[in-house]
Amino acid sequence: MTQNIQSTEDLLKKPEVSKLVRNMRAINKKIMVMSGKGGVGKSTVAANLAARLAERGNKVGLLDADIHGPSIPKMFGIEDTRPEVDENGIVPISVTENLVVMSVALLLEDKDAPVIWRGPAKMAAIKQFLEDVSWGKLDYLIVDLPPGTGDEPLSIAQLIEKMEGAVVVTTPQDVALISVRKSIKFAEILKVPVIGIVENMAGIICPHCDKKIDIFSRGGVEKAAADFNVPILGELPMDPKIAEIEDSGKVHTDINEEIPWGKEFAAIVDSVENLKK
């Protein structure tokens, strides 16, 4: 009898599972999209990964964790939309039946106003996005991180108890590859599996002959992948049509697998969908 009472008392002393943990446990797979430096197309990859997974029937959430340079709402044409609040928390913006989005840009009254926050404020905001946003049950949560290995990537990696992995985006330029190696090492230190590397701007498609023309040096991405034993998920060519679609806010409707860029990106989505359960 005494033993039973002791067991009950011990049980009552255990801390309640936090709302953040409950939120994240309702999501099957959490994947962060990162890059070592800016301007390599990381948000393009994150936005299209979320949109294409949703097109395939998955329930997907997309968190724009780039506090200072949020661009995801523009790509989906929702930059003038404001989220509501219900009894469960902040309601993310529904883009399609299967895709919801949250970004600090959706909370700003003036979209031209800069976000001037120090590290603790950014960490608190990211915690709130994970904890107070009513994500619901999802197959995937895609997190678009700012470039580098600073506060935001560190906060995400530490707050989410089980991260399925990271997709690292780079371009073929040597200066980008120096940074991408740091990103891979960062993920290893935090014990986040690296799903693979996406090489963006891997040549340009000639508008006359449809052949790919290399405009940067080649071989650096392959070497980084071999050095760290991670796969290359895809090589995306430069295509002005993609930029036009993003600028018009139609990432979720106007990109298809008929164009070379779309075909290559479909292989990236396949790799993510084929992650072990």
Known binder of ligand: residue 41? yes
- For residue 135, count other CB atoms closer than 10 A to its CB: 23
Integer Cα distance of 196 and 182 in angstroms: 14
Known binder of ligand: residue 196? no
DSSP, res 145: P
Known binder of ligand: residue 40? yes
- Least Cα distance to 42 among 205, 152, 135 occurs for 152
- Least Cα distance to 25 among 137, 122, 133, 158 occurs for 137
End-to-end CA distance of the chain: 43
Q: Write out the two tokens for 251.
A: 């990432």
Known binder of ligand: residue 182? no
Known binder of ligand: residue 212? no
Find the angle CA(75)-CA(78)-CA(29) to the nearest 5 degrees. 70
Known binder of ligand: residue 43? yes
Residue ranges at the known binding site? 36-43
**Bind-site residues for ATP:** 36-43
